């Protein structure tokens, strides 16, 4: 039987559009109860036993035996050797991508600014001190696929932010190490790395073991076990986000070659069966042309089975009244990746409020953003772009408020604070402020 990708066809003119649209968008972020319980047990075990538990789960889930966790640590020499062994084209591509990612995140530093302060009319100093995190962990998926690009996107902004240590964990089932991932760790400047994965890796980073150092924050994507573990260790450490399935939404005006758009929809559908690919366009004939292109191109895809299921189960080709309506629907979806495949992308960009990343113009395929354009590819999913941002240097920094009240300033601020504290019934707060109204520091001369 011929394999086909059949995304649902919808039209905003149909009376049932709203119900059909919501049904197609629906995806539950709730993790399977069995997974949640297993993750809970693994986290507790690693927290209690440390290295022995990590070794046990690594043997059980990755079929990788070791007598100590130190045997699972990758060395800087291995990183450099892998870099030297990969084909020259890969070396050059890695270095070019790394340079662009670094340049973009350095621009973020300049835009965000650093520490700042000022003095008010009473001489009181107020400000903010910006400091990098001491140590972060990056989770790099391994197994069905490998993601050296994730190493770039997590490690480089951490370096730019000034993070002192970057600890990478990457599963290597049956001990099979991916040379490109190791080479990328060399280019990106990973400090230490361990060949462990799953919930046990997240636990090791969050709690620390006899060998794996405890980190301040964990970034990077993973499967349902990793996502559940990150959610549960939040508070002990920081996390970047809980990522759902990959998403792409294409706003098209019908001027881009249909093959290009079809392949862009494939680019996210090939990640997994739950990925979502949606096309919005006011031209019905163009939607037909994109469907025909998908039918023609699908047999060429090595991951055709995954693409077909993803598009058939969660994909959509939606006919809109006009591009303005398409932009409004896009804002409701708040997609991870948003392509504006139009001859006039800057006409529509001001209408777009919610998206992880916006790709402007027919030549800007989402895949360029995944690897080498420069902006980060770790993006909010499942509508969280309404209130979340891409991973950036700001995720690897923290801010401390600076307050230095002068004697004159204490006379004004003390009275204000005392009134409010008494109103809240917090007498010690009030008295602490009031003491500064009449008291003076002793003369130490």
Catalytic sites, residue numbers? 336-337
Among candidates 377, 345, 383, 381, which has minimal Cα distance to 361? 345
In sequence order, what are the residues at sequence separation of 6 or more whose Cβ sits closer than 8 angstroms to the Cβ of residue 251?
Answer: 280, 281, 323, 326, 327, 330, 338, 339, 340, 341, 342, 348
Quick one: 87 exposed, middle or buried, by C-beta within 10 A (0-12, 13-18, 19+)?
exposed
Helices (H), 361-406: 366-371
CB 185 within 8 A of CB 169: no
Point out which residues pair with 276 in neighbouring strands: 247
3-state helix, strand, coil in the chain (%, to 5): 50, 15, 35
CB 196 within 8 A of CB 204: yes
Q: Which two tokens stand for residue 340?
A: 């504006």
φ, ψ at 100 (rounded to 5°): -70, -40
Q: Which of 229, 245, 222, 250 is nearest to 138 (CA)?
A: 222
- Contact indicator for 392, 108 with CB cutoff of 8 Å: yes
What are φ and ψ of residue 251, in 5° steps? Answer: -95, 115
Residue 30: CA count within 13 A, CB half-sphere: 5
Measured between alpha carbons, how far is 240 from 390 in angstroms, rounded to an integer?
9
- Which residues in 62-107 belong to E strands, given as ranges? 73-74
Alpha-carbon span 226 to 139, nearest angstrom: 9
Q: Report the distance separating Cα 58 and Cα 53, nearest Å.
A: 8
356/267 Cα distance (integer angstroms): 16
Cα 305 from chain centroid (whole Å): 27
3-class secondary structure, 34:
helix
Q: Which of 401, 413, 356, 410 is nearest to 383 (CA)?
A: 356
Measured distance CA(223)–CA(142) in Å, rounded: 10
């Amino acid at each position: 039987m011929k394999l086909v990708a059949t995304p649902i066809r919808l039209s905003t003119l149909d009376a049932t559009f709203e119900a059909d649209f919501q049904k197609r968008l629906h995806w539950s972020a709730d993790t399977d109860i069995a997974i949640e319980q297993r993750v809970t047990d693994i986290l507790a075990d690693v927290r209690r036993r440390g290295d022995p538990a990590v070794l046990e789960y690594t043997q059980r889930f990755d079929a990788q035996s070791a007598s100590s966790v130190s045997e699972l640590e990758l060395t800087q020499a291995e990183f450099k050797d892998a870099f030297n062994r990969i084909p020259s084209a890969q070396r050059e591509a890695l270095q070019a991508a790394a340079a662009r990612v670094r340049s973009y995140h350095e621009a973020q530093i300049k835009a965000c600014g650093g520490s700042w302060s000022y003095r008010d009319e009473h001489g009181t100093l107020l400000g903010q001190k910006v400091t990098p995190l001491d140590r972060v962990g990056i989770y790099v998926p391994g197994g069905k696929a490998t993601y050296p690009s994730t190493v770039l996107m997590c490690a480089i902004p951490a370096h730019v932010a000034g993070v002192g240590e970057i600890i990478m964990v990457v599963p290597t089932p049956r001990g099979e190490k991916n040379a490109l991932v190791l080479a990328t760790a060399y280019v990106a400047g990973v400090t230490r790395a361990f060949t462990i994965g799953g919930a046990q890796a997240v636990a090791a980073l969050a709690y620390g073991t006899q060998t794996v150092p405890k980190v301040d924050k964990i970034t990077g994507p993973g499967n349902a076990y990793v996502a559940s573990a990150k959610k549960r260790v939040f508070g002990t450490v920081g996390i970047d986000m809980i990522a759902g399935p990959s998403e792409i939404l294409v706003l098209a005006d019908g001027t881009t070659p249909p093959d290009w758009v079809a392949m862009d929809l494939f680019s996210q559908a090939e990640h997994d069966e739950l990925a979502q690919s949606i096309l919005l366009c006011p031209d019905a004939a163009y939607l037909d042309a994109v469907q025909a292109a998908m039918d023609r191109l699908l047999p060429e895809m090595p991951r055709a089975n995954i693409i077909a299921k993803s598009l058939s189960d969660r994909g959509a080709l939606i006919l809109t009244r006009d591009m303005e309506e398409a932009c409004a629907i896009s804002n409701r979806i708040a997609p991870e990746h948003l392509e504006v495949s139009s001859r006039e992308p800057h006409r529509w960009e001001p209408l777009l409020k919610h998206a992880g990343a916006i790709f402007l113009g027919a030549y800007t395929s989402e895949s360029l953003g995944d690897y080498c354009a420069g902006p980060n590819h770790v993006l909010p999913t499942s509508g969280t772009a309404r209130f979340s941002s891409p991973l950036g240097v700001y995720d690897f920094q923290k801010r401390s408020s600076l307050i230095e009240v002068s004697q004159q300033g204490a006379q004004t601020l003390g009275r204000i604070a005392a009134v409010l504290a008494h109103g809240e019934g917090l007498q010690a707060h009030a008295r602490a402020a009031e003491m500064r109204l009449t008291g003076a520091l002793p003369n130490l001369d």
